[in-house]
Structure formats: structure tokens, C-alpha cells
């Protein structure tokens, strides 16, 4: 019992000394950084306006996403917010959210890798990589395509959807369902 108390006291003392040794080093680092940030030359206009012009503000949109249950029987709609800077970025943001399932649901796109998402003349091009572990059966493939279409066609500017794998048009995404090129609303 005495050994346990002594070991505990030594560990407590060692932890206290280690923590005390780090605190003084952290405080001086923060203090010298503050004065340069208040430099009068930087705060007089040009520096701040240039920063605002080069980095657009984050936009937030509430979108609908579609997931399925563990049995892959039907799609369930879920609303979620996405953040993006440029309008072009919202399609990739929507796809990434489509990869993150809600609790108790299954994402049909979780293991798919997005290469690129871009809009041109009303056609949203989505290029993906499809690893073997991302492949589903015929029912899962139908639901995956339906969930992607429902998610992307909610954006008014998207009139058609061109889904490619590694930059190539494919007859079927996973070998079960024929793909249209491009898919329409």
C-alpha cells in the first residue's frame, strides 16, 4: 500500500513539474505576436482591402441529401447545411456531405473518391474514382444514382448531370445499371 502511495505521489509531482515547465514558454510566444498585428501601416486600408478581395466570403446553403437504410430498401431525405466560397464549390461540398451518412442510415457514396465537380452550360460534370470497396449490388447502384441525381438536381442551374469514372464515360457505374450520358432532370 505504501509503495502505491509513493508511486502516485511521484507521478503527481512529475506531472506538476512538467506542466509548470511549459507554461512560461507558452506565454511569451503570444505576447510578441500581438504588437506586429497592430502595426499602423498594415491597418491603414490597403492590406485589409486586398485580403477581402482575394478571399471570398463563405456562403451557406441548406440542401437536401439522400441516404438509405442498412437494407438498401429506399432513400430517405435529410437536410443539411453546406459551406462554400464560390458557386462552383457547392457541388463538391454537396457531394462530400452525401458521403457522410446520418446516424442509422447508410451513405451510398461513402467510399467513392470525388476527382472533380464542375458546371458548364447547365451540365454538371462529376468525375469520380470507384474503388472496389465502393461497389454495390444492383439495388444499391440504382439507389446511389437516384440519390446523386436528387441531390444535384435540386440546384436550379443544373439541367444535366454527366457522371464519369476516371475521366471516362462508362456504360454502367457498378456493372448493373446502364448510365445515361448525360442524365437529365
At 6 the pLDDT is 65
Counts for the chain of helices (H) and strands (E), in that order: 5, 6
pLDDT tens, 8-48?
555 555 555 555 444 344 444 444 444 444 444 444 444 45
What nine digits make up the cell of 143? 439507389
At 71 the pLDDT is 85
At 44 the pLDDT is 46
The CA-CA-CA angle for residues 151, 155, 160, to 5°, reads: 80
**Dist. CA 74–CA 147, nearest whole Å:** 10
CB half-sphere exposure, 132, CA atoms < 13 A: 0
**Dist. CA 166–CA 157, nearest whole Å:** 24
3-state secondary structure 25-64: HHHHHHHHHHHHHCCHHHHCCHHHHHHHHHCCCCEEEEEE
What nine digits make up the cell of 155? 440546384
At 107 the pLDDT is 95
From the list 147, 131, 152, 135, the residue with the least C-alpha distance to 68 is 147
List the chain residues with pLDDT less than 50: 20-47, 50, 52
- Examine residue 182 and say whether the peptide bond preceding it is cis (omega within 30 degrees of 0): yes
Amino acid at each position: 500500500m505504501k509503495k502505491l502511495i509513493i508511486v502516485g505521489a511521484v507521478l503527481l509531482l512529475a506531472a506538476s513539474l512538467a506542466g509548470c515547465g511549459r507554461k512560461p514558454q507558452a506565454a511569451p510566444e503570444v505576447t510578441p505576436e500581438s504588437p506586429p498585428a497592430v502595426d499602423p501601416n498594415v491597418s491603414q486600408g490597403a492590406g485589409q482591402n486586398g485580403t477581402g478581395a482575394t478571399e471570398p466570403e463563405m456562403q451557406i446553403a441548406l440542401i437536401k441529401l439522400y441516404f438509405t437504410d442498412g437494407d438498401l430498401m429506399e432513400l430517405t431525405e435529410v437536410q443539411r447545411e453546406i459551406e462554400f466560397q464560390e458557386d462552383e464549390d457547392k457541388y463538391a461540398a454537396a457531394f462530400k456531405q452525401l458521403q457522410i451518412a446520418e446516424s442509422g442510415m447508410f451513405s451510398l457514396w461513402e467510399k467513392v473518391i470525388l476527382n472533380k465537380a464542375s458546371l458548364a452550360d447547365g451540365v454538371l460534370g462529376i468525375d469520380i474514382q470507384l474503388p472496389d470497396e465502393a461497389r454495390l449490388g444492383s439495388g444499391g447502384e440504382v439507389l446511389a444514382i437516384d440519390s446523386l441525381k436528387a441531390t444535384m438536381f435540386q440546384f436550379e442551374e443544373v439541367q444535366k448531370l454527366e457522371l464519369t469514372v476516371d475521366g471516362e464515360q462508362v456504360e454502367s457505374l457498378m456493372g448493373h445499371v446502364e448510365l445515361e450520358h448525360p442524365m437529365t432532370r
